[in-house]
Amino acid sequence: MNLMATAGVVQVGLTWQAPSSIDPGYPITNYKVYRGTAPGMAIFLVDAGNVLSHTDTGLTNGVLYYYQVSAVGLGEGPRSNEASATPTAPTAPTAPTVPQNLQAAAGVVQVGLTWQAPLSDGGSPITNYKVYRDTARGMAIFLVDAGTSLSYTDTAVMAGQTYYYQVSAENTIGEGLQSNEASATPTATAANPSISIVEPTAGTTVGMVVFLQVQIAGFIIDAESIGQASVPGRGHYHVAVDGSTIDFMVTGLIYAVKDLTEGQHTISVSLHNNDHSALSPEVGDEVTVNVAAPAQPSAGIDPVVFAGTTIALVVLLVVVAVALILWGRRSRQAP
């Protein structure tokens, strides 16, 4: 009958299967449930009716209960296998675990912070993230409540000074442990980000698919943060053909531009922040190429057709030769 017991809070859920052999003349009308607190000592608990499950409630958490079930038709059949379970008390909520993967990106007199949610909220939703900062490693003190956002931009910094950061998560129970430490040194002036197309070169004749190769400097490609808040100096790039964007989320240095038509086309790339906004001023590059359709194979002699034609001609010649020989013999035999 494959009796199974599943523990809950002050209860145990039982499920079983009908007996494999049932007398059609005496169908099952009821199942009896037995329970005990020691192996092999179960006593009658309840008539469950003609069902294949029962929930035993009002139990004591922490006590191990043993169960058996029997089927009733013409009479009561043998008991099932014994199954056991221990009801447990609900787990009390705790503070969240540590926020994951804190990263700090230096900007122009600012530092952009991003992080990921803890692996566990402790059983209670996260209500706030606390940001800690200092100018010495391992000495961070409270800076600001960042709310439930997974990013924060610190603008109260000085260029050339290295800052160290940590983040913790809060819920209604309390504050969890602080994250890994991340550091960054803001600059006084902006680096000059650039993106250039290495391949193909201008004027090149290419096929219907072009493998675009780019080179990026002064800018960090951040595939994990696409669509999130903007962090200076981080993001991705867009690809366009003849002024129409074909991909908004490119992060690789090689990209296949597909389905081009014959003729001249201009392929362009441009750097964008995590939130897809363009850099200011805009940073990009473009190249104009000529797209040619692949050459069609020249017409040739089909070897199958050639072979068939050759065989037919040989057969024809043999037939003609035989006919001439027979005609010659008849001519010599004529009076």
Q: Which CATH number fits domain 4-85: 2.60.40.10, 3.90.1150.10, 3.30.70.790, 2.60.40.1840?
A: 2.60.40.10
pLDDT at 27 over 60: yes
Q: Is the peptide bond before 281 cis (omega within 30 degrees of 0)?
A: yes
pLDDT digits (tens, 9 = 90+) for 145-180: 999 999 999 999 998 899 999 999 999 999 999 999
Cα distances (Å, whole numbers) of residue 113 to 28, 31, 101, 195: 67, 62, 10, 24
**CA–CA separation, 47 and 30 (whole Å):** 7
**pLDDT at residue 313, as a whole number:** 80
> What's the fold here for domain 194-291?
Immunoglobulin-like (2.60.40)
**CA–CA separation, 82 and 68 (whole Å):** 5
Element containing residue 263 per DSSP (H, E): strand 263-273
DSSP 254: E
pLDDT (average), residues 18-29? 82
**pLDDT at residue 327, as a whole number:** 67
> Percent of the chain at pLDDT above 70?
91
pLDDT (average), residues 249-259? 92
pLDDT digits (tens, 9 = 90+) for 108-139: 889 999 999 999 999 999 999 999 999 999 99
Q: Are 33 and 14 in contact (CB under 8 A)?
A: yes
**CA–CA separation, 159 and 110 (whole Å):** 8
Token pair of 80, please?
Answer: 């099932």
**pLDDT at residue 329, as a whole number:** 65
To the nearest 5 percent, what fractions of the chain are helix, strand and coil?
10, 45, 45
Q: Are 17 and 71 in contact (CB under 8 A)?
A: no
Q: Residue 189 class from Cβ within 10 Å (0-12 exposed, 13-18 middle, 19+ buried)? A: exposed
pLDDT digits (tens, 9 = 90+) for 209-236: 999 999 998 888 888 889 998 887 889 9
**pLDDT at residue 219, as a whole number:** 86
pLDDT digits (tens, 9 = 90+) for 76-105: 999 999 999 999 988 889 999 999 999 999
**pLDDT at residue 121, as a whole number:** 95
pLDDT (average), residues 247-270? 93
Q: Are strands 244-250 and 205-206 parallel, antiparallel or unpaired?
A: unpaired
Domain 100-184, architecture per CATH: Sandwich (2.60)
**pLDDT at residue 205, as a whole number:** 94
pLDDT digits (tens, 9 = 90+) for 277-333: 999 889 999 999 999 988 765 555 566 656 667 777 877 777 777 667 766 666 565
Domain ranges of the chain: 4-85, 100-184, 194-291
pLDDT band at 261 (very low <50, low <70, confident <90, very high): very high
- Where is average pLDDT lowest: 19-33, 40-54, 68-82, 313-327? 313-327
Q: Which residue has the tokens 């201008």?
A: 202
Q: Which residue has the tokens 């008539």?
A: 47
pLDDT band at 107 (very low <50, low <70, confident <90, very high): confident
